Amino acid sequence: MHDSPPKIKVEQFSSWYGDKPVHKEISFHVRANEVLGIIGPAQSGKTTLLRAINRTLELTAGARSTGTIQVDGEDVRWVANVYELRRKIGMVAPLPVGLPLTIYDNVAFAPRCAGLSRKSDLDALVEKCLRQAALWDEVKDRLDSLGTKLSGGQQQRLTIARALSHQPEILCLDEFSIAIDPVTTMRIEEVLKELRKDITIILVTNLTQQARRLADRTMFLWNGEIIQLDRSEVIFSENPGNQKTYDYVHGIFG
């Protein structure tokens, strides 16, 4: 595991919204095929970090950043094709977003944007992604009904299916379980355990137990700084070696 070059390498990364600083010169890397958990309270820069990696941060007015982020050794700032970069990274937002299209079209949206148009290819891909997101059995008979009419939990799985539809090498999940019930959450966690064999996963979560269950390593991000980044066993142990981490994980953070 230590031999392979890092999938994502972040160096001296700082960011701001207007004058308000978010990250303060953070550096870390994500190894290929690992699950990196990111925990931390609100406003600590978790979502912004994900948006910097797939370069959607720059679409927000007033956002700027310094430092470098490399994906597969390439500085994201200078990639020739930013859309290719974004396809390499699947992104799941906290609240489900069903696009106002049919279920089928929701999943086929990204492949179509990338130029895939053969019906049989799309059919196969849509089924594969919906299966991976544990949604296929519930919607296979009504693929042409609207994605926005699904329940919240179903829409979140649809969002995950869409994030997988462009066959990413990295999957970023931003508090994906906020809007869904525990049973569905567990089903998706099972899915993630399958997926980790093939792809790298960044899991932002406010459920520390979820990070403990899934993440190989966990990063505690607080106020735009990395307080600690270590193997999950260490972070969630009785003695993580950092008082702030201990307090946060054990719910006595003041």
Hey, which residues between 58 and 77 contact another protein (CB under 8 A)? 59, 61
Hey, which residues between 165 and 204 contact another protein (CB under 8 A)? 165-166
Residue 109 in the binding site for another protein (CB under 8 A) = yes
- Minimum gap (Å) between residue 6 Cβ and another protein: 22
Residue 113 in the binding site for another protein (CB under 8 A) = yes
Closer residue to another protein, CB minimum distance, 110 or 143: 110
- Minimum gap (Å) between residue 159 Cβ and another protein: 7
Closer residue to another protein, CB minimum distance, 39 or 107: 107
Report the 3 state secondary structure along the chain.
Answer: CCCCCCCEEEEEEEEEECCEEEEEEEEEEECCCCEEEEECCCCCCHHHHHHHHCCCHHHCCCEEEEEEEEECCEEHHHCCCHHHHHHHEEEECCCCCCCCCEHHHHHHHHHHHCCCCCHHHHHHHHHHHHHHCCCHHHHCCCCCCEHHHCCHHHHHHHHHHHHHHCCCCEEEEECCCCCCCHHHHHHHHHHHHHHCCCCEEEEECCCHHHHHHHCCEEEEEECCEEEEEEEHHHHCCCCCCCHHHHHHHCCCCC
- Minimum gap (Å) between residue 230 Cβ and another protein: 29
- Minimum gap (Å) between residue 99 Cβ and another protein: 6
Count of residues that interact with another protein, criterion CB under 8 A = 29
Give the residue, chosen from 54, 177, 208, 245, that forms a contact with another protein under the rule CB under 8 A: 54
Give the residue, chosen from 63, 79, 114, 234, that forms a contact with another protein under the rule CB under 8 A: 114
Hey, which residues between 122 and 161 contact another protein (CB under 8 A)? 146, 148, 159
Residue 212 in the binding site for another protein (CB under 8 A) = no
